[in-house]
Amino acid sequence: ETGVTQTPRHLVMGMTNKKSLKCEQHLGHNAMYWYKQSAKKPLELMFVYSLEERVENNSVPSRFSPECPNSSHLFLHLHTLQPEDSALYLCASSQWVSELGYGYTFGSGTRLTVV
């Protein structure tokens, strides 16, 4: 399988649940990202990992916890979420190089609904 794969595609969870989103890339990239896309809002960058090290955390609440065990896998662990956290969560990967001609490859996202 090629590209960036996200699972599950859809997730409904209660506010007291704990769940995890998974992202896997088969492109040989060394950087991975989590974005959040709420209805009628631009994509918001949440976390950035380069060479499995977290290099950026854009003021994301602690109820979102990322994990990058290796350069091919990225997880987003969720606990005690709020209804306003309902959104499309997108994973992306890229080569981490100074030449910014390399594009990002995105997955299709996980549509999360918090009830």
Partner 1 sequence: DAKTTQPNSMESNEEEPVHLPCNHSTISGTDYIHWYRQLPSQGPEYVIHGLTSNVNNRMASLAIAEDRKSSTLILHRATLRDAAVYYCILRDSAGANNLFFGTGTRLTVIP
What residue ranges bind partner 1 (CB under 8 A)?
Answer: 4, 31, 33, 35, 42-43, 45, 48, 50, 56, 90-92, 94, 96-101, 103-109
Residue number with CB closer to partner 1 (72 or 105): 105
User: Could you tell me which residues come within 8 angstroms of residue 61 by beta carbon, excluding any fewer than 6 positions away?
Assistant: none
Residue with smaller CB distance to partner 1, 80 or 88: 88
Closer Cβ to partner 1, 15 or 51, answer by number? 51
Smallest gap from residue 21 Cβ to partner 1 (A): 13
* Residue 26: alpha-carbon gap to chain centroid: 16
Provide the minimum distance between the beta carbon of 2 and partner 1 in the complex, in angstroms, as a whole number.
14
Tell me how far apart the alpha carbons of residues 43 and 52 are, in angstroms, rounded to a whole number: 22
Partners of 107 in beta bridges: none
- Which is nearest to 107 in space by CA: 28, 26, 51? 26
